[in-house]
């Protein structure tokens, strides 16, 4: 067991200001010299990235659907190692779940798994004594939940604050601070920029986080909050380790998705073989280029950790700024956090586009998720892209979002054919055609999606590698072997398209 002072911040519903409070709290304690760590419940890489910016170390997601409920506490303990305080930002309302499984996937379920106190952030702008009934109801709804108190947000006046505090005192619920209206108004970059401002260490993003830290430090009782966090018991179980990562469905874990039909998940090794993530004896490291920048990666932090444990030398490449792949690149990984809004910058970087096309043309492993798929296409919104895939991307109104239980249609550097796993989709742009002759995935209620050709696996489905740690070993093995050929034709270097869609 691991001792980590911790708090889970949640709210009655979305829109109460939990994100601003979480960012400000992390920054306020970091400014005090305390080592802090930030986490986000669910698949939201953007919120996690900003939590990392505030904390000064990688922010991480805790998503029971993507990694398995039994892996949430170990991943938390791993990501919070050495921290004097960990702050977990909830998603939606405290007891809500996007997938309708609140008993395992809600913020309340994560808080219970972590044995963590919960602090409820409540927007009280249009509320008086009713705040006591609301908070009492949240406390009484689940006897296993530890509701440690509330933070009042958008308080109108000192008199309003006094009314709220008196009502909450009557039901025995502590108040850890009151934030006036507009005090937490931040100038964070627009959501459409995704994690790019964090990856690029954008000055406006840094300035906004500093302002939130100052506002929270002035409005909240930091000493009492830290005392509450320190009262949490040890985190159950042992910390997750990329060197000892077990496949989903292994001992002491619950499956994140359905098991594959008669096969191993995504590169997991049979019994009696070296542990997942262990490089071949005597094998030199292979260089894996991972899309990112000075402030982090476009993939979850565990991706780089698993690649290193599998024997890779991980070197960042910035698709928006670098004009060449790292020297000796044997494989490229583009995580799902690459934002679609940067099509012009991606297109303008012609030298890197040509280098990526050449790498794919040589049969080297290229694994691209989310907007990484669009980057590999012929064009996006009329702008030339890498030209690895014979497909065209176009932005549309509305967002496609949700989890998918997907089955690999074609063997690739990511998964053997027939492997089943759970991924997440969040995108505006679509690709025409939706899939190549050798599709990446299929799932109930949808047409096949994605492209597999030689060493390329590209799809808008995002997979959290911590849930399927064999992916890293599979990709590194393919890079060491020089690629994984498939029946589809190879791409031609220099941006020419290949792999006509079905």
CATH number of the domain residue 133 falls in:
3.40.50.300
Has residue 13 been placed in a domain? yes
Whether residue 196 sits in one domain with residue 113: yes
Position 247 scores a pLDDT of 56
Condensed to tens digits (0 to 9), the pLDDT of residues 34-63 reads 999 999 999 999 999 999 999 999 999 999
Whether residue 463 sits in one domain with residue 382: yes
Has residue 498 been placed in a domain? no
Whether residue 329 sits in one domain with residue 224: no
Has residue 74 been placed in a domain? yes
C-beta of residue 427 within 8 angstroms of C-beta of residue 400: yes
d(CA 474, CA 452): 15
Whether residue 141 sits in one domain with residue 51: yes
Position 491 scores a pLDDT of 34
Has residue 381 been placed in a domain? yes
Whether residue 320 sits in one domain with residue 206: no
Has residue 21 been placed in a domain? yes
Whether residue 220 sits in one domain with residue 290: no
Q: Which residues contact 111 (CB under 8 A, 6 or more apart)?
A: 8, 10, 88, 90, 117, 118, 145, 146
The helix (run of H) or strand (run of E) holding residue 180 is strand 175-180
d(CA 299, CA 311): 18
Pairing, β 441-443 against β 430-432: unpaired
- Lowest-pLDDT choice from 95-104, 106-115, 239-248, 308-317: 239-248
C-beta of residue 453 within 8 angstroms of C-beta of residue 339: no
Whether residue 310 sits in one domain with residue 183: no
Count of domains forming the chain: 2
Has residue 251 been placed in a domain? no
With 0-12 / 13-18 / 19 or more C-beta atoms within 10 angstroms meaning exposed / middle / buried, residue 501 is middle
Per-residue pLDDT for 186 more than 50? yes
d(CA 501, CA 450): 10
Neighbours of 414 (CB within 10 A): 32
Determine the structural domain holding residue 213 and report its residue range: 6-230
d(CA 350, CA 477): 29
Which domain-ending residue is among 212, 230, 248? 230
Condensed to tens digits (0 to 9), the pLDDT of residues 427-449 reads 999 999 999 999 999 999 989 99
Per-residue pLDDT for 205 more than 50? yes
C-beta of residue 58 within 8 angstroms of C-beta of residue 247: no
Please compute the mean of the pLDDT values over residues 270-279 and round it to a whole number.
Answer: 35
C-beta of residue 284 within 8 angstroms of C-beta of residue 258: no
C-beta of residue 500 within 8 angstroms of C-beta of residue 489: no
Whether residue 165 sits in one domain with residue 19: yes
Whether residue 53 sits in one domain with residue 125: yes
- Cross-strand pairs, 450: 435
Has residue 238 been placed in a domain? no
DSSP label of 49: H
Whether residue 325 sits in one domain with residue 190: no
Per-residue pLDDT for 248 more than 70? no
Whether residue 317 sits in one domain with residue 414: yes
Condensed to tens digits (0 to 9), the pLDDT of residues 61-112 reads 999 999 999 999 999 999 999 999 999 999 999 999 987 788 999 999 999 9
Position 283 scores a pLDDT of 67
Has residue 292 been placed in a domain? yes
pTM: 0.90
Q: What is the CATH number for 347? A: 3.40.50.880
Whether residue 45 sits in one domain with residue 135: yes
């Amino acid at each position: 067991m691991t001792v980590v002072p911790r708090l889970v911040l949640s709210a009655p519903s979305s829109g109460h200001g939990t994100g601003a409070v979480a960012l400000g709290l992390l920054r306020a304690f970091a400014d005090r010299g305390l080592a802090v760590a930030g986490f986000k419940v669910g698949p939201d890489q953007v919120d996690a990235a900003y939590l990392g910016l505030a904390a000064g170390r990688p922010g991480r997601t805790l998503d029971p659907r993507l990694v398995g409920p039994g892996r949430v506490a170990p991943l938390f303990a791993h990501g919070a190692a050495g921290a004097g305080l960990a702050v977990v930002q909830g998603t939606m309302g405290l007891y809500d779940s996007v997938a309708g499984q609140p008993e395992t996937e809600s913020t309340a379920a994560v808080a219970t798994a972590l044995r963590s106190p919960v602090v409820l952030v409540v927007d009280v702008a249009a509320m008086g004594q009713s705040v006591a009934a609301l908070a009492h109801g949240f406390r009484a709804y689940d006897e296993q939940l530890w509701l440690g108190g509330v933070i009042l947000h958008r308080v109108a006046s000192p008199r309003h604050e006094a009314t709220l505090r008196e009502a909450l005192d009557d039901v025995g619920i502590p108040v850890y601070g009151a934030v006036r209206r507009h005090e937490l108004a931040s100038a964070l970059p627009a959501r459409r920029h995704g994690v790019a401002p964090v990856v690029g260490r954008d000055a406006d993003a840094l300035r906004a986080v500093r302002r939130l830290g100052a506002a929270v430090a002035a409005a909240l009782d930091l000493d009492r909050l830290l005392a509450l966090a320190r009262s949490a018991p040890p985190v159950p179980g042992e910390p997750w380790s990329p060197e000892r990562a077990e496949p989903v469905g292994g001992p002491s874990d619950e499956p994140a998705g359905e098991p594959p039909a008669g096969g191993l998940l995504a590169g997991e090794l049979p019994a009696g073989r070296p542990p997942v993530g262990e490089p071949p004896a005597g094998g030199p490291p292979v260089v894996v280029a991972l899309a990112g920048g000075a402030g982090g990666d476009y993939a979850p932090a565990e991706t780089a950790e698993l690649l290193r444990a599998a024997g890779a030398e991980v070197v960042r490449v910035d698709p928006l700024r670098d004009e060449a792949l790292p020297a000796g690149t044997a494989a490229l990984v583009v995580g799902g956090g690459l934002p679609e809004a940067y099509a012009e910058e991606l297109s303008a970087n012609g030298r890197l586009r040509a280098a990526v096309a050449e790498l794919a043309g040589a049969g080297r492993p290229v694994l691209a998720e989310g907007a990484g798929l669009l980057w590999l296409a012929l064009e996006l919104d009329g702008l030339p892209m890498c030209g690895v895939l014979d497909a065209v991307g176009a932005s549309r109104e509305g967002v496609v979002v949700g989890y998918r239980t997907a089955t690999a249609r074609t063997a690739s550097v990511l998964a053997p054919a027939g492997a089943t796993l759970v991924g997440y989709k969040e995108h505006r742009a679509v690709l025409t055609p939706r899939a190549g002759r050798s599709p990446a995935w299929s799932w109930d209620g949808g047409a096949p999606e994605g492209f597999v050709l030689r060493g390329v696996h590209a799809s808008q489905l995002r997979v959290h590698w911590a849930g399927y740690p064999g992916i890293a070993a599979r990709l590194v093995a393919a890079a060491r072997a020089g690629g994984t050929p498939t029946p589809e034709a190879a791409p031609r270097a220099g941006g020419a398209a290949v792999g006509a869609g079905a």
